[in-house]
């Protein structure tokens, strides 16, 4: 990762246009190709950014001095950064006027954030308590393999029909689309079809619920505390 503290101005050009006037900011260039521009505020959210894949070109003053680009630029611009998106015409143009810090750091592979109640825990608990989905449900297996990735849980309902369950902490439209792809593939298998779908999460966003139900996918809200036995359901007022 490269960290640069510089006085700069930033223009985003493409499907939308945005301008950050000249000010001191932190520029963060990550190994995945992303470039983020931060101020000393606004919590974690950058002022502007380019997501990967992207290509960064840095031109020193002498490279564009005397060209048409140079004529349109302030005389005290020392570097011109152009961050070009790989799949669209979007780009960031960053004009560097002065640098206070420029360093590179090798962070290595990050193990990721480990949270209480992640999908792996939900998967394990639901597999152990499969009848949460309905009386008579039986577990077939966790991480059922397919050509496009593993289905979180494969089960059978009281009538013996195959059920594919997709688990999320927060269920959004992407999760519904993922389960839809699994169902399309599984229903080609004569030993499994017809395969029903259940979208299960601690919280399901309204748009995701609407899309799932429109596609015949049942939505189930999971109470993580109750599943792991730390919530006294009978003591609740509501």
pLDDT tens track for 73-126 = 888 999 999 999 988 899 999 999 999 999 999 988 877 655 555 678 888 999
Kindly report the CATH number that applies to the domain delimited by 2-104.
2.70.180.20
pLDDT above 80: residue 220? yes
What is the domain partition of the chain in residue ranges? 2-104, 119-235
Cα separation of 206 and 182, whole Å?
Answer: 22
Residues 6 or more apart whose CB falls under 8 angstroms from that of 65 comprise none
Structure confidence at residue 121 (pLDDT): 84
Rounded to two decimals, the pTM is 0.52
Query: Does domain 119-235 sit in CATH 3.90.850.10?
Result: no
Q: Read out DSSP for 78-131?
A: -EEEEEEESSSS-EEEEEEEEEEEEEE-----------TT-HHHHHHHHHHTGG
């Amino acid at each position: 990762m490269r960290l640069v503290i510089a006085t700069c101005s930033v223009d985003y050009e493409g499907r939308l246009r945005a301008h950050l006037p000249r000010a001191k900011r932190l520029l963060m260039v990550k190994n995945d190709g992303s470039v983020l521009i931060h101020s000393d505020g606004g919590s974690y959210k950058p002022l502007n950014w380019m997501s990967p894949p992207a290509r960064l070109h840095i031109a020193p003053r002498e490279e564009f001095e005397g060209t048409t680009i140079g004529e349109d630029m302030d005389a005290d611009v020392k570097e011109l950064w152009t961050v070009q998106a790989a799949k669209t015409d979007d780009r960031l143009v960053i004009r560097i006027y002065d640098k206070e810090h420029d360093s590179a750091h090798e962070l290595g592979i990050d193990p990721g954030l480990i949270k209480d109640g992640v999908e792996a825990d939900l998967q394990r608990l639901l597999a152990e308590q499969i009848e949460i989905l309905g009386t008579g449900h039986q577990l077939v297996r966790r991480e059922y393999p397919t050509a496009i990735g593993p289905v979180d849980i494969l089960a059978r309902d009281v009538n013996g029909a195959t059920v594919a369950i997709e688990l999320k902490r927060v269920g959004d439209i992407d999760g519904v689309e993922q389960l839809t792809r699994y169902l399309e593939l599984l229903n080609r298998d004569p030993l499994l079809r017809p395969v029903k779908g259940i979208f299960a999460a601690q919280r399901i966003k309204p748009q995701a619920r609407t899309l799932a139900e429109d596609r015949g996918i049942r939505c189930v809200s999971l109470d993580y505390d109750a599943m792991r036995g730390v919530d006294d359901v009978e003591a609740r007022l509501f």
